[in-house]
Structure 1
Amino acid sequence: MTLLALALMGLAAGGVLHVAHASDAARCAWAATTAVVLLPTLVSIIKGLLRRETGVDLIAVLAMVGALALGEYLAGAIISVMLTGGAALERFAVARARRELSALLKRAPRVAHRRVGADIRDVDVAEVGLGDFLVIKPGEVVPADGILSSGSAVLDESALTGESKPVQLDAGTPVRSGGTNAGGPFELRVTASAAESTYAGIIRLVKAAEESKAPFIRLADRYALGFFGLTLALSGFAWFAGGSPSRALAVLVVATPCPLILAAPAALLAGVSRAAKHGIIVKGGGPLETLARAKVLLLDKTGTVTSARPQVVAVETFGPMSSDDVVRHAASVEQLSVHPFAPAILAEARSRSVEPSFPADVREQMGTGIEGTVDGRRVAVGQLAFAAPDTPRTPELRSIKMRTAVEGSSSVYVSINGSLAGVLLIQDPIRPEAPRALRSLRAAGVQRIHMVTGDHPDVAELVGDAVGVDRVFAERTPEEKVEVIKVVRAEGITAMVGDGINDAPALALADIGVAMGARGATAASEAADVVLTADRLEGLLLATRIAQHTRRIALESIFVGMGLSLVAMLFAAAGYITPVAGAILQEGIDVLVILNALRALGGGGLITPKRPEVKGLAQRLASAHRSLRPHVSELAALAARLDSLEPADARALLERLREMIETKLWPHELEEQQTAYPLLGKMLKDEDPTGPLIQTHHEIHRLARLLGRLVSQLPPEGPRAEDLRDLRRALYGLHAILTLHFAQEEELYSLFET
């Protein structure tokens, strides 16, 4: 900025002196201006040549040297202003946020609670030594690696591993630093100092990854060598053919690649501004241009592909009590729980419109369960060994255990007066917009999409299949995620998307790091090049489209500017343009290409047009899905229990499900088909997906009618053994098609909810 200010002042001072008829002083001012800019630029060029790097500034340096040699000082001053102005604009466009990892360091604990005998003393973390006993209080970050010395502990290690479920640890289990205590206080025997612990290692890994990341090569420099050779050839020809060095200088002046120097930074800066309007923070023009060329995408799972907000996905009952009653009793005691699953259970109660009672005599065993008295009954919620320790391991319980292992879900058991009443299955759901966003990214030019996660392979593969990735890298530590980045970079320019501390090293090393910043993952945001402040994967699609749109305009401006400069060079070689006239003409070309580059501020149809009525309708129908989902899960739950139920109870439950389908489910589906589908079809036009959804409605209606007829034909005492097979097939069929149908519709509605 200092050089630009000096160049402007020198050019203006020379102009004032020239108007005042002090021509010699004006020439001196212009010559001094040229020299002031030439010297540091020449030093920079020489350093670049020693590194075997050729930039577009080299032509400008030759033009300024020629201007000084031939006494064309005004032309030299004008070139100086153009050159320093372009450099200032580029520095502003490519400036990155500082990456000193202040968030990581801020999160790192400063104080540890060391137990010495019966006393607990607060000491600086740096003073913690091997063999010390530390007390970790609820909500605190573990400051050093160690061994759990007493009792049990519940740790939230999602920031380290990406695993969304809290980890239950028993005495004698190794504990890594960086996890958050999600249970009661526990004691840790230190096995590694804070400086040598897991958390400190991640910080060092991020720094090393940033240092090893390849430097950005500015867009203009990629075309510099060819243009430089052409300029020298045409300049030499003009000197030889015209016999005048002034012609050669005029060629150099009009060839001064200000369209190259100015157009790309101006367009990229406009693109950065455009992205910021949509909640996408791009740390400079370089990352935006790199994102436009990305061919490989790596995704973290928890918090990126999934929402990182646990939800109840199914309720299984083991007695006469309905699933609504099981949820109500569980929610009643969970109102006073601090466990991470408590909000999910309370949300399930709200979605079922059941009102919890306020519990009495509540006792919580951190990380294991909570119990209390609800309406005169003793209710326990938590692990099976806590809620109903005397319950025999029946086939139903073994089935639930297998299901949770395969699906990656968690089971929360509910007992009433010591008898097992039901189990809530809780899962971290896939973002509704994720499959569609990834398909659109492929259409935008991303060739390979992989998922890399610290989660279990079974869970990771299940999620990867659901969203359509090419490959899944499971059970990867932060160090191993970095190794994955190094491997897949051979496939093309690589973008990494993540949201946790465990993703920060990979984000720093990837060609372009993208952080999902809405959940407060500051460490990932510090290490990333792009931060999506809206907690939706569609932001990545929008950022990619903006980047591609911006790069296309930047290249267009560059080639238009180079083409105009080439035409001017031909006229200058023929003697029709003087050096000063060439400098002024070049300024006109600069203005033209910058105006064209600023078109990147416009959207160009980058965002799906939204209408208020569609947004409101989509939100209302998505809310209806949330209220219907518990009833849908009951279809499979009842099918699994038909054998064990008394015939009269089975008939009552079947009658209730039939009534739900006829009075709630089917009217909802008809409303969607009559109101939402036409609007969605108009908005998505050629991409209209409603045809297959209507066919799914036909199948839902067929199965619903079949179930209704089977129930209506049951004898008064309930289903007989020969009825169970057909009932079970209808129930399972309805559950499967409704689950798929809801997922398809929610993916569409997610486009218009925000």
Structure 2
Amino acid sequence: MTSEKARADFKIALLAVALAGLAAGIGLSLAGKAELARTAWAAGVTPVLVALVVEIVRSLLRREVGLDVVAALSMSAALAFGETLAAAVVALMYSGGTFLESFAEGRARREMHDLLSRVPRTATRHSDGALEEIPLDEIVPGDLLLIRQGDVAPVDGKVESVRAVLDQSAMTGESMPVRLARGQEVMSGSTNAGEAFDMRASRRAAESTYAGIVRLVEDAQRSKAPMSRLADRYSILFLVVTVTLAAAAWWMTGDPIRAVAVLVVATPCPLILAVPVALVAGLSRAAHFGVLIKGARPLEALAQARTLVLDKTGTLTDGRPQIVSIETCAALPAEEVLHLAAAADQASKHPMAQAIVAAALTKGVVLSVPTDIREIPGEGVAARIGGRSVVVGGRDFVMRGIGVPVVPHKGSEEGSATVSVAVDGQLVGNLILADPLRAETAEFLAGIRRHGINRILLATGDRHAVAEAVTEGLDLDGIRAELTPDQKVLLILSERKNGPVMMVGDGVNDAPALAAADIGVAMGARGAAASAEAADVVLLIDDLSRLISGLNVASQSRWIALESVVAGIGLSIAGMIAAALGYLTPVQGSLLQEAIDVAVILNALRALRISSDRPRRGIEPLQTAAVGHVP
């Protein structure tokens, strides 16, 4: 940050020197002191020219040639042939352009710097009936933290109070606060917009969503776009054209001032800054919508993707089992069946048991404490709940547990599972759990095709029958099931014949495919750290429609950058021809080029106003499962 500030201060100093020299020279000229005026203009140009030459030498050592060479030639030629006023205008243009670049990039990174500046330093932890303020590094999973009104959640965790109201705008771009019930997940970096609540930490600070986002932001800020390198390569051709046209104008007319005028008009140094300004503005705008793109290269690749490969679990689906219905087989109501099952399952860490407990807590059920617990891993749990004997688990396990012969059952549909519940030796109900499609899936697929995606495939490790059942009715071009991680990579590589491939996933097993794809997209809110590290784009909230926002920002930012380059260079060439024909003096040419460069950089800043291009809908707490009665 110190070096960035030093560079910014240096650019301001150069601008001040160039402006002071130009203003002093104009004042002296109006006072009739022409010789002193030329001296003042030359004095204002010299520091800028020296700094420019130093930068050119550094670029050449990196084997890069940019259009800064044209600016150095124009200033040098103008000074050599006595056109000191034109040289002073070019110096002001160059220094002003670099300052405008610094200002533009600073504004474009505003959302990213906001993320960095919001990092909390301490947390409030419950300890032996008291509260203590501790550094973030001391937080361990399982700690009970107090999140006061206005506090930023320091780590990922789960709500332990009845409810919590969180402002996630800095993380996701959503303006409406989110209401969370007991047991629901809190994203680190969210601000408590309601009353104080307790949160159970689930990760250490260094492993939390917010810390990962900060690391990704820092990586994104250090990238350089291929379009910038492409512009540098074309700058050699532009340099040759400029020097050739200037030499031809001098040779054909015998007037060296014609050559100076051509060089002055061809000084598009700030013009090339329009490319990184547009792309950095695009990165910032995408972050505003909850899409973290790890640099300008991925932003360009995102805009050019033509094939989309989607993982199923955690991407098309929520990734966690949920109760979709409750069958009751006795006089007990469905709510009581859920209560008893959840109370017993508090003793188990099985994903289905945790899903049942979470569903009960979300409905506000107060769970009794189980006793006499006996768990068979992978099978089920037996416990006593308020004097009742409760058995919860697979149907065979439950029937054996109550000493009843296993009888045929209609079973679960593909993609779902049944958890049976018995109380005091009698089967009382079945909980049907499934990993349903995300609500926005169909709308997402339709929307993403409008952004140039021609082919959409599902790639999953699940059985083919499950994949087909879950995705029935979706607009997919193919389903590839029972794939291992290396087979997913082969699928990505084989699909490249149809154009650049984008892969969306969330698990550790998706990381190789995300790295192999032209553009890898990770579901970052709950996805594995490995997938977020391997991916080029991270969705900061589990909402696929965010990717449509990212595609829209990427394509429009790239178009704005190209538009700025084509328009700026086109206008510069037209001005060069006019100067070669004698229609522009060096001073007039420098003023024209100043206007062109400022215009294209301001045009590049339009990327900060790109819309999300996705439907707006309110964020609501997770809905409780539907409860039905089957006689």
TM-score, normalised via structure 2 length: 0.67
Aligned to 1:606: 613
Matched, 1:77 2:82: no
**Of 243, 253, 260, the match for 1:242:** 253
Structure 1 residues 58 and 33: alpha-carbon distance in aligned structure 2, compared to 1, 3 A threshold: closer
CA distance 1:223–1:296, change in 2 (3 Å): farther
Distance 1:214 1:510 in 2: 20
Residue correspondence of structure 1 range 13-412 to structure 2 within 5 A: 14-15=21-22, 18=25, 21=36, 23-24=38-39, 27=42, 30-45=45-60, 47-48=62-63, 56-57=67-68, 59-60=70-71, 62-63=73-74, 66-67=77-78, 70=81, 73-74=87-88, 77-78=91-92, 80-81=94-95, 84-85=98-99, 216-218=226-228, 220-221=231-232, 224=235, 227=238, 230-232=241-243, 234-258=245-269, 260-316=271-327, 326-346=337-357, 348-349=359-360, 359-374=370-385, 376-384=387-395, 386-389=397-400, 392=405, 394-396=407-409, 399-400=410-411, 403=412, 406-407=414-415, 409-412=416-419
Alignment partners' CA distance in 2, 1:420 and 1:368: 16
Partner SS state of residue 309, structure 1: coil
Q: CA deviation at 1:441?
A: 0.6
Write the distance in 1 (CA, Å) between the matches of 2:66 and 2:513. Answer: 30
Q: CA RMSD in A?
A: 4.2
- Mapped to 1, the partners of 2:69 and 2:513 lie a distance apart of 36
Of the structure 1 ranges 329-338 and 541-550, higher mean CA displacement relative to structure 2 is found in 329-338
Kept in 1: contact 2:396–2:406 (CA 8 A) = no
1:571 Cα deviation from its structure 2 partner: 2.3
Deviation (angstroms), 1:67 = 4.9
C-alpha distance after superposition, 1:686-706 (max 9, x if no partner): xxxxxxxxxxxxxxxxxxxxx
Matched, 1:630 2:627: yes
1:507 aligns with 2:518: no
CA distance in 2, matches of 1:481, 1:86: 45
Q: Any idea what SS the aligned residue of 1:388 has? A: helix
Cα distance in structure 1, aligned partners of 2:419 and 2:472 = 26
CA distances 1:637-693 after superposition (whole Å, capped 9, x unpaired): x5xxxxxxxxxxxxxx5xxxxxxxxxxxxxxxxxxxxxxxxxxxxxxxxxxxxxxxx
Q: In 2 relative to 1, CA 35–350 (structure 1 residues): closer, same or farther, beyond 3 Å?
A: closer
Q: Distance in 1 between matches of 2:374 and 2:522?
A: 40
CA distance in 2: counterparts of 1:91 and 1:553, whole angstroms: 15
User: Which residue does the alignment assign to 2:449?
Assistant: 442
Offset at residue 530 of structure 1 (A) = 2.9
SS in 1 for 2:559: helix
The CA deviation string for residues 254-300 of structure 1, in whole angstroms up to 9 with x for no partner, is 22234641322232333333333333333344433332222222323
CA shift at 1:539, angstroms?
Answer: 0.8
CA 1:607 to 1:436, structure 2 compared with 1: closer, same or farther past 3 Å?
closer
CA contact (8 A) 1:38 1:64 kept: no
Residue 424 of structure 1 aligns to a residue whose secondary structure is strand
| Equivalent residue number for residue 576 of structure 2 | 569
- What SS does the aligned partner of 1:562 have? helix
How far residue 544 of structure 1 moved from its aligned partner, in angstroms, is: 1.4
Q: Structure 1 residues 352, 584: CA separation in 2 closer, same or farther (over 3 Å shift)? A: closer
Give 1:549 shift.
2.7
Residues 475 and 605 (structure 1), Cα distance of their counterparts in 2 relative to 1, 3 Å cut: closer
State the shift of 1:381 in Å. Answer: 0.9
Task: Give the TM-score taking structure 1 as reference length.
Answer: 0.57
Q: In the aligned structure 1, how far is the partner of 2:616 from the partner of 2:323?
A: 34
Report the AA paired with residue 575 of structure 2.
A
- 8 Å contact kept, 1:37–1:84: no
Once the 2 structures are TM-superposed, how far is the Cα of residue 305 of structure 1 from its aligned partner?
Answer: 1.5
Worse-superposed segment, 246-255 or 430-439: 246-255
Conservation of the 8 A alpha-carbon contact between 1:307 and 1:431: yes
Aligned length: 503
Q: Structure 1 vs Structure 2: percent identity of aligned residues? A: 42
* Counterpart residue number, 2:432: 425
Residues 496 and 507, structure 1, Cα contact 8 Å, conserved in 2: yes
Q: For residue 371 of structure 1, give the secondary structure of its aligned residue in structure 2.
A: strand
For 1:451 and 1:443, locate their aligned partners in 2 and report how far apart those are by CA, in whole Å.
Answer: 19
SS of residue in 2 equivalent to 1:423: strand
Query: Aligned to 1:435, what secondary structure does the other structure show?
Result: helix
Relative contact order: is structure 1 or structure 2 higher (C-alpha 8 Å, sep ≥ 6)?
Answer: 2
The answer as to whether partners of 1:324 and 1:352 remain within 8 angstroms in 2 is no
Assess, with a 3 A threshold, how the Cα gap between structure 1 residues 85 and 502 changes in structure 2: closer, same or farther. farther
* Residue aligning to 2:122: none
Kept in 1, the 8 Å contact 2:444–2:544? The answer is yes
**Alpha-carbon deviations, 1:416-437, whole Å to 9, x = none?**
3445444333222211001111
2:227·2:275 contact (CA, 8 Å) conserved in 1? no
2:154 counterpart residue number:
none
Q: Which has the larger radius of gyration?
A: 1
Which residue of structure 2 aligns with residue 189 of structure 1?
Answer: none
* Alpha-carbon shift at residue 370 of structure 1 (Å): 1.6
1:469-488: CA deviations, max 9, x gaps? Answer: 32334444444444443333
Q: Aligned to 1:372, what secondary structure does the other structure show?
A: strand
Cα distance in structure 2, aligned partners of 1:75 and 1:504: 53
State whether residues 451 and 552 of structure 2, in contact with CA within 8 Å, keep that contact through their aligned partners in structure 1: yes
Deviation of the 1:376 alpha carbon: 4.3
- How far residue 495 of structure 1 moved from its aligned partner, in angstroms, is 2.6
Q: Name the structure 1 match of 2:492.
A: 485
Task: Return the offset for 1:312.
Answer: 1.6
Amino acid at match of 2:585: T
Q: 1:556 to 1:25 in 2, by over 3 A?
A: closer
Cα shift at 1:558: 2.9
What do the CA deviations read for 1:47-89 (whole angstroms, capped 9, x no partner)?
547xxxx755554455456456656553663465267558767
Deviations for 1:421-470, whole angstroms, at most 9, x for unmatched residues?
A: 44333222211001111210101211222233343443334444454332
Letter in 1 for 2:600: V
Q: Distance in 2 between matches of 1:582 and 1:6?
A: 25
The structure-2 alpha-carbon separation of the partners of 1:263 and 1:301, relative to structure 1 and needing over 3 Å to count, comes to: same
SS class of match (1:379): strand
What CA distance in whole angstroms lies between the structure 1 residues aligned with 2:523 and 2:21? 52
Maintained 8 Å contact 1:316/1:323:
yes
Distance 1:222 1:478, change over 3 A: farther
Q: 1:314 to 1:47 in 2, by over 3 A?
A: same
Structure 1 residues 16 and 527: alpha-carbon distance in aligned structure 2, compared to 1, 3 A threshold: farther
Contact 2:109 2:284 in 1 (8 A): no
User: Is residue 552 of structure 2 the alignment partner of residue 545 of structure 1?
Assistant: yes
Report the Cα distance in structure 2 between the residues aligned to 1:358 and 1:379, rounded to whole angstroms.
12
Query: What letter corresponds to residue 30 of structure 1 in structure 2?
Result: V
Q: Deviations over 1:102-135 (max 9, x none)?
A: xxxxxxxxxxxxxxxxxxxxxxxxxxxxxxxxxx
2:596 aligned partner, one-letter code: I
Aligned-partner SS, 1:599: helix
